Copies of this chain bind each other. A is one copy, B any other.
């Protein structure tokens, strides 16, 4: 369908077209700019715009593709996103000559992925992390509250969340430095201080917010999808010893704020539409402001693979699915604004750890989707490194 070669196992077909920000390796023209992935190439959207090929009414005179992040494009909303998608699918199709037969433009605009460096795709004003997988809530609650009544009663009435740290969100491939901090005192000694001994990460996806809302004007749950541009993969790195000591009574702080990893490519909600599936039935019935006319999840396989340093092969530590969310991403977003809180373009909403129903013994702390790094690496090392990622799964090199 695309004139660009797309290998059969590629995640980047013409039906996906995820957005990111890249710069060319070296060179004086290495300014950050928006691109979409197609096969093993990145299509430079600023070059396509300069060539006049974004000829739709919303994008032809916009400068949103001449920006160092995607925020301005996100602010334009779904009509502009749909126009961009239609334009790009046409432009890349084998039936269309405009780009295919223009060798000099192709040379300029279609860059092999190994000739570019990916950057953080959005300026993130605020980052929120939800807690929306019932299996994860059950697994965590069993540990902290006991097996009889693992889930706090409020969990079934509202999507629980906390504010996270925006400054330390980085893209895959960025080193995560093992945090130092305080852990619980034992006996009469002072609290432990030193490198975290309980570092793990949670497998999550995260929603990238589009237009958003003014302060004081909540978003209706049935219109919430209009404010969701797409999703990224997210690793919520967590130092459990630091977290356990600090979190009463105000929640996670330094146990999380040392780093959060997202994928460089944002997969659009429009591209995910074919994977939409019914969300779980919710009992008790949610309050009217959370009751959706259509309640959707997405059937997307998730897999965590780890490749220890010095080993050839990555191995899979967990498999899950995006459809394990109890609270949908639209319910999360509507709930976030019900008090009048304003969301801005580029805000990031983590789903919370996405755990499945089956237990697993593969180096996990307590739940599918939580991987204890210390079980897998030498305790004396200070830095972890994630080396690759793909739209629907990622590999970690430790």
Residues in A lying within 8 Å of B, measured CB to CB: 125-126, 128, 131, 144, 152, 154, 157-158, 160-168, 170, 175, 177, 179-182, 185, 190-191, 193, 215-216, 218, 239, 242, 245-255, 257-259, 284, 287-289, 335-336, 338-344, 347
Contact = CB atoms under 8 A, between A and B. Distances in A.
A339 B254 contact: yes
Nearest to A140: B249
A239 B342 CA distance: 16
B180 A246 contact: no
Nearest to A196: B339
A138 to B, nearest CB: 13
Given A168-B215, A193-B289, A179 B250 contact: no
Given A131-B250, A246-B154, A258 B341 contact: yes
Copies of this chain, complex-wide, total 2
A250 B162 contact: yes
Nearest to A212: B167
A177 B365 CA distance: 43
A170 to B, nearest CB: 7
Given A163-B163, A163-B253, 15 more contacts: A125-B125, A126-B165, A126-B166, A152-B249, A157-B190, A158-B182, A161-B250, A167-B342, A168-B340, A177-B215, A177-B216, A190-B284, A255-B339, A257-B339, A259-B340
19 contacts: A126-B165, A128-B253, A144-B249, A154-B191, A158-B245, A160-B253, A161-B253, A162-B163, A162-B251, A168-B340, A168-B341, A170-B215, A177-B216, A180-B338, A182-B287, A242-B339, A249-B251, A254-B335, A254-B336
Contacts of A175: 216
A253 to B, nearest CB: 5
Contacts of A242: 339
